[in-house]
Amino acid sequence: MIWETIRLSLLSVRRNVLRSFLTLLGIVIGVAAVIAMLTIGSGTTEKVKADISKLGSNLLVVRSGRPAGPGGPGGLDQATRPLGSKELAALIAHLSGARAISPASQKQVRVIFGTESLTSGVTGTDSAYLYARDWKLVSGRPFSDSETRSGTGVCLIGETVRQQFFGAGDPEGEIIRVNRTSCKIIGLLEPKGYTGFGQDQDNVVLMPLAAYQRRIAGNRDIDSIYVAADDRTPTNELLPRVEDILRDTRRITPDREDDFSIRDMTQIADAMASATTTMTGMLGAVAGVSLLVGGIGIMNIMLVSVTERTREIGIRLAIGAHEKHILIQFLVEATVLSLLGGIVGILIGLALAGLASLTLAIPFAPSPAVILLAVGFSALIGMVFGFFPALRGARLDPIDALRHE
């Protein structure tokens, strides 16, 4: 009986291919939009999470200047005192729960090798930096402690720098010019690709902090201090300890606010992930509205179908169909119709998401749960919006229905 009914409804869809297609357009577009958006959305979330974890997880970044917030943007404060070796030394001496503490000062600088040149992010730091940021070397070695202390002209380069100057060749031992100084390449960093903000993380040169300060920055300031938490210490516990030590070192009285900021990369990662989730949710709601429109389309076409087939309903009732048989017939038809639209919509949505993941370089992350939900939802729309027309058909008087032209 039920298979018979499903077969019947597929037949009636086939008889009116164009009309069925037009009717289903609402459902198709709605489902396709939902699937595409949710799939692209979860791909984006994954990408953002991956990007942030590239920045370093469980990482605190200390900068001078008041934290961004109601007090104004950080770092633009006139009275900003830069960070220096005093703060670094205090953290190394007193902070517990840190896996690595490392200074970093940065600048975009012209780097030259032979006749080639490239503007790179040059960072002055120490050997703990690689450890703090979880960066690895493909070849060569990090700075030694004595190189860090004395500010020897050595450096580590990223993949983009290597490709620019040496192609596929081995850069180790070569001398490059960085601004007015030169340094010997002692290692190559593992490629990390672009961040979600379009920044090339491989266009970098690392050199000992002392060398950077003396030959590039011309001062003894430290732009930022990276503090990586160890496995047992959550960053939100580590953060107040860092704050205490720094306030102490910088002699900030309790009545005054911090003149430095501490950013928690874990929190930023979470915030960004939840921002994309919110956006996905909102887009999902928009798509939901188009599904509602699709449902009204189904209702409309089922009303037309019931009217067109009034005589058929009369015949069926005359030869012994019960109300429920007619009701089920049209409900199944609406559901099959709506499901067909849903399935087509899912395929189109996945295709769109696939295309988007190729062009936006985000992972293609279709969720079986979402697909199942879309199938269930489109079936539900058919049932809900098909119910009223089906009931109308089932309630027809057989004599009137038979007389209908």
Partner 1 sequence: MSGSVLISFDKVWKSYGQGEARIHALAGVDLAIRRGEFVAIMGPSGSGKSTAMNIIGCLDTPTAGTYRFMGVDAGRLDRNRRAMLRNLYVGFVFQGYNLLPRTTAVENVELPLIYRGVAARERHDLAMKALAEVGLVGREHHTPAELSGGQQQRVAVARAIVTRPTLLVADEPTGNLDTARTHEIMELLTRLNTGLGLTIAMVTHEADVAGYAERTIRFLDGHVAADTINLEMA
Residues contributing to the site for partner 1 (CB under 8 A):
1, 4, 15, 311-312, 314-323, 325, 398-399, 402
Minimum CB distance to partner 1 smaller for 360 or for 399: 399
**Integer Cα distance of 135 and 85 in angstroms:** 23
Minimum CB distance to partner 1 smaller for 221 or for 312: 312
Strands 116-125, 98-113: pairing kind = antiparallel
CB of residue 327 to partner 1, shortest distance in Å = 12
CB of residue 400 to partner 1, shortest distance in Å = 10
CB of residue 363 to partner 1, shortest distance in Å = 48
CB of residue 307 to partner 1, shortest distance in Å = 15
23 closest CA partner among 213, 228, 302: 302
**Burial call 23-36: b when 16+ CB within 10 Å, e when fewer:** bbbbbbbbbbbbbb
CB of residue 17 to partner 1, shortest distance in Å = 13
Residues in CB range of 96: below 8 A, 6 or more apart: 241
Minimum CB distance to partner 1 smaller for 31 or for 332: 332
Residue type, 312: E
Minimum CB distance to partner 1 smaller for 372 or for 399: 399
**Integer Cα distance of 391 and 383 in angstroms:** 11
Minimum CB distance to partner 1 smaller for 268 or for 402: 402
Show the tokens assigned to 261.
């900021």
Conformation bin of residue 204: beta by default, left when phi > 0, alpha when psi is -120 to 50: beta
Separation of first and last alpha carbons in the chain: 28
Minimum CB distance to partner 1 smaller for 299 or for 394: 394
CB of residue 318 to partner 1, shortest distance in Å = 5
CB of residue 401 to partner 1, shortest distance in Å = 10
Minimum CB distance to partner 1 smaller for 7 or for 149: 7
Minimum CB distance to partner 1 smaller for 371 or for 401: 401
* DSSP conformation class of 367: -
Instruction: Locate the DSSP E strands across 28-174.
Output: 59-64, 98-113, 116-125, 137-140, 154-157
Residue type, 324: K
CB of residue 306 to partner 1, shortest distance in Å = 15
DSSP-assigned letters across all residues of 135-197: --EEEE----HHHHHHT-SEEEE-HHHHHHHHTTS--TT-EEEETTEEEEEEEEEPP--B-TT
